Amino acid sequence: MTGQIGYALVPMIARGVMLGPDQPVILHMLDIPPAAEALNGVKMELVDAAFPLLKGVVATTDVVEACTGVNIAVMVGGFPRKEGMERKDVMTKNVSIYKSQASALEKHAAANCKVLVVANPANTNALILKEYAPSIPEKNITCLTRLDHNRALGQISERLNVQVCDVKNVIIWGNHSSTQYPDVTHATVKTPAGEKPAPELVADDAWLKGEFISTVQQRGAAIIKARKLSSALSAASSACDHIRDWVLGTPEGTWVSMGVYSDGSYNVPAGLIYSFPVTCSNGQWTIVQGLSIDEFSRKKLDLTAEELSEEKALAYSCLS
């Protein structure tokens, strides 16, 4: 929680950005022992900010204490890939982290705890967590692709020079990686003349099938290049969006993207954590059904599913 994303996230939660302006919260912050002193510094700042909704803070390096009684768990901790590391090395590190956190959540979290995995490889970390916490319902384990979803909204709004709140129903399909498929086929934009299809307003198929997709796919790398650090405030903000919509519901006629456990919808292999368009109500997400998938989209959906199947196999080989 002393990392970039955690430090951006805790004030947002304490301000009511995640659960609304009337919902008091108790924050449980977990970090690794070398960060214990810095974590205590974050706790001091939370006290100093005098957030009216913040009813308590637990700052700990003990995973059991951190997980005890939590209703919502946002997993921002993971082992980052360092130069010269193979993917399997990173996967092995993360598998062991998510294995231990899974069992602590399963034993100590509140009964209907909702879990959001942010740390990369997010989809596969969420899958590991699901494997090692069999009593947590699979519908309660998700990963963050709302950041990619919001990036796609941002690109369309910039391109059309409209407010981002007037753009809706983009879709991120698949993995939170550079194989993800940002899809605007079904997106709409609010105009003075009513809602119009985004592709019609953009009127540039080459851009939508080329630069738009690669910009969203590569945005994380572009931010690292600019900031010399990875996306933090945008990741924290979209984590709040993800949980808020999941808990409080999506607006009528609007869907969002969430990495969820695949049931075979859209011919995506069942048993992967894959990003789909979803609506939420009463604390439950539902995959939006019946959207048309053209040939271009089909290839993209399959490509990112293949990568996720490979990651899953790699993760399972690290488990044995």
List the pLDDT tens digit at each of the 320 positions of the chain. 778 999 999 999 999 999 999 999 999 999 999 999 999 999 999 999 999 999 999 999 999 999 999 999 999 988 877 777 777 788 888 888 999 899 999 999 999 999 999 998 999 999 999 999 999 999 999 999 999 999 999 999 999 999 999 999 999 999 999 999 999 999 999 999 999 999 999 999 999 999 999 999 999 989 989 998 889 999 999 999 999 999 999 999 999 999 999 999 999 999 999 999 999 999 999 999 999 999 999 999 999 999 999 999 999 988 87
pLDDT of residue 89: 82
pLDDT of residue 291: 98
Residue 22 is labelled as binding a ligand:
no
Query: DSSP labels for the chain?
Result: --SHHHHHHHHHHHHTTTT-TT--EEEEEE--GGGHHHHHHHHHHHHHTT-TTEEEEEEES-HHHHHTT-SEEEE---PPP-TT--HHHHHHHHHHHHHHHHHHHHHHS-TT-EEEE-SSSHHHHHHHHHHH-TTS-GGGEEE--HHHHHHHHHHHHHHHT--GGGEE--EEEB-SSTT-EEE-TT-EEEETTEEEEHHHHH--HHHHHTHHHHHHHTHHHHHHHHHSS---HHHHHHHHHHHHHHHH-PPTT--EEEEEE--SGGGPPTTSEEEEEEEEETTEEEEPP-----HHHHHHHHHHHHHHHHHHHHHHHHH-
Question: 219 — phi, psi (to 5°)?
Answer: -60, -40
Q: Model pTM?
A: 0.96
Asked if 154 contacts 164 with a C-beta cutoff of 8 angstroms, the reply is yes
Distance CA 317, CA 116 (A): 24
Question: 116 — phi, psi (to 5°)?
Answer: -125, 120
Could you confirm whether 108 is annotated as catalytic? no
pLDDT of residue 229: 86
Residue 31 is labelled as binding a ligand:
yes
Residue 203 is labelled as binding a ligand:
no
Question: Tokens 């808990």 sit at which residue?
Answer: 247
Q: How buried is residue 251: exposed, middle or buried, by Cβ count under 10 Å (0-12/13-18/19+)?
A: exposed
The structure tokens listed for 47 are 């006290």
Active-site annotation holder among 28, 108, 149, 176: 176
Residue 87 is labelled as binding a ligand:
yes
Asked if 305 contacts 288 with a C-beta cutoff of 8 angstroms, the reply is no
Residue 71 is labelled as binding a ligand:
no
Residue 118 is labelled as binding a ligand:
yes
252: CB partners within 8 A, 6+ apart:
none
pLDDT of residue 148: 98
The structure tokens listed for 264 are 């075979």
Residue 120 is labelled as binding a ligand:
yes
